[in-house]
Amino acid sequence: MAAIPRTAFQKKLDHRKLKGHIFYALCLIAIVIALAMLGALLYNVLSAGLSRLSWDFLTNFPSRFPERAGIQAALIGSIYVVGSAGILAFTLGLGAAIYLEEYSNRNWYARIIQVNIANLAGVPSIVYGILGLEIFVRFMDLGKSVLAGSLTLALLILPIVIIAAQEAIRAVPPSMREGGFALGATRWQVIWHLVLPYSFPGILTGVILAVSRALGETAPLLVMGALTFVPFAPDGPMSRFTVLPIQIFNWVSRPQEGFHVNAAAGIIVLLVLLLSMNAVAVFLRYKFQKKAQL
């Protein structure tokens, strides 16, 4: 009985196994293509821009001559705008997350906010630029200033901060809160002395990732009206400004080769900033995980 189907089965099995091997190879190829693209991108940027990096490049202002142009205005603009956007989003986002997790009891209003936040996270960033232009620049009459730019970016990253902070707060074991309540602490005392210290590294990680997203954003600030050529560093919240990604965009759009080299050098500076922020986030998460295991 075994003899007849066995050969047919064996043939079929070989065929099935071969298909499996081919599929495995395809999976590997897909991963390799993705990694190769990442490698090609980094290699091209580094080989084009590395030689252009110098102290002068960091401290000069933009110029009609590529070899004299620098990124000081854009770098300081980015630090001002993204830094204040981060602080704003951290404060407001943490507040919203605490309300949703600790106070709302998942009522209908909290559910609406939750759905709303999920949808806001999917709104294209350029739409936030239109919002910033209308509400902050024109309606509130802040002008195309550092303040208007950071408010726009703060709204953009707010959903990311809220979602990350909610996850961190949710990871605090309920027994901790119950212990606090049993000792007669008020709700806010429990949050301030128990929940927040425990979840803080997680919240901070989320904020850093959100800020690194803001640091790379170009479109919303372009639409809001940030300048593309700024020969001065911003000196206050009402000053006009540019940011690093917009400076890079401006250089990429020019036809001259020299500006493309500048764009590559600017990208290296931007990626170094992003990578170091991400490294801090990874470090925090690692420390947090170790603490949580204790």
What is the nearest approach in angstroms of another protein to the Cβ of residue 1? 18
What is the nearest approach in angstroms of another protein to the Cβ of residue 18? 10
What is the nearest approach in angstroms of another protein to the Cβ of residue 90? 11
In the complex with another protein, which residue's Cβ is closer, 135 or 233?
A: 135
Closest CA to 273 of 7, 58, 125: 58
In the complex with another protein, which residue's Cβ is closer, 65 or 103?
A: 103
In the complex with another protein, which residue's Cβ is closer, 112 or 235?
A: 112
**Angstrom distance (rounded) from CA 243 to CA 273:** 13
In the complex with another protein, which residue's Cβ is closer, 110 or 194?
A: 110
**Angstrom distance (rounded) from CA 100 to CA 93:** 11
The token pair at 219 is 């479109």
**Angstrom distance (rounded) from CA 57 to CA 76:** 13
The token pair at 294 is 């204790």
What is the nearest approach in angstroms of another protein to the Cβ of residue 58? 18
In the complex with another protein, which residue's Cβ is closer, 23 or 65?
A: 23
Q: Say which amino acid occupies 5.
A: P
Q: Which residue has the tokens 């990124």?
A: 71
What is the nearest approach in angstroms of another protein to the Cβ of residue 236? 24
Strand partners, 145: 240
In the complex with another protein, which residue's Cβ is closer, 55 or 111?
A: 111
236: which DSSP letter?
S
What is the nearest approach in angstroms of another protein to the Cβ of residue 16? 5
Q: Are the C-beta atoms of residues 162 and 93 closer than 8 Å to each other?
A: yes
What is the nearest approach in angstroms of another protein to the Cβ of residue 232? 20
Q: Are the C-beta atoms of residues 146 and 77 closer than 8 Å to each other?
A: yes
Q: Are the C-beta atoms of residues 195 and 169 closer than 8 Å to each other?
A: yes
Q: Are the C-beta atoms of residues 61 and 250 closer than 8 Å to each other?
A: no
The token pair at 202 is 């997680």
- Going by C-beta distance under 8 Å and a sequence separation of 6 or more, which residues neighbour residue 15? none
> What is each CA distance from 140 to 74, 128, 136, 148, 153, in whole angstroms?
25, 16, 5, 9, 16
In the complex with another protein, which residue's Cβ is closer, 48 or 69?
A: 48
Q: Say which amino acid occupies 39.
A: G
In the complex with another protein, which residue's Cβ is closer, 61 or 99?
A: 99
What is the nearest approach in angstroms of another protein to the Cβ of residue 36? 10
